[in-house]
Amino acid sequence: MKEITLTGASKISSPNPVTIVCTQKPDGSTNLATVSWWTYLSYNPNMIAYAMAKTSYSGEMVRQNKKVILTIPSDKIADVVMGCGSFTGRNTDKITKFGVKMKELPNSDISVPEYSALAIVCRLKEYMETGDHYLYICNVEKVYADEQEKAVFAWDGYSQIKTVR
Question: What gap in Å lies between CA 124 and CA 100, rounded to an integer?
Answer: 25
Pick the closer one to ligand FMN by CB: 2 or 48: 48
- The site for ligand FMN (CB under 6 A) is made up of 18, 31, 33-37, 51-53, 56-58, 82, 85, 87-90, 154, 158
Residue 6 Cβ vs ligand FMN, minimum distance, rounded to whole Å? 13
Question: Residue 56, CB half-sphere, CA atoms under 13 Å: how many?
Answer: 26
Of the candidates 14, 12, 4, the residue with the CA atom closest to the CA atom of residue 36: 14
Q: Whose CB is nearest to ligand FMN?
A: 85
The C-alpha R_g of the chain, in whole angstroms, comes to: 15
Pick the closer one to ligand FMN by CB: 45 or 129: 129
| β partners of residue 102 | 113
Q: Tell me the H-state helices in the chain.
A: 6-12, 57-65, 78-84, 94-97
Pick the closer one to ligand FMN by CB: 26 or 45: 26
User: Which 8-state DSSP code applies to residue 82?
Assistant: H
Pick the closer one to ligand FMN by CB: 117 or 154: 154
Q: What single-letter amino acid sits at 34? A: T
Pick the closer one to ligand FMN by CB: 27 or 147: 27
Question: What gap in Å lies between CA 31 and CA 142, rounded to an integer?
Answer: 20
Residue 1 Cβ vs ligand FMN, minimum distance, rounded to whole Å? 26
Residue 132 Cβ vs ligand FMN, minimum distance, rounded to whole Å? 9
Residue 128 Cβ vs ligand FMN, minimum distance, rounded to whole Å? 15
Residue 133 Cβ vs ligand FMN, minimum distance, rounded to whole Å? 6
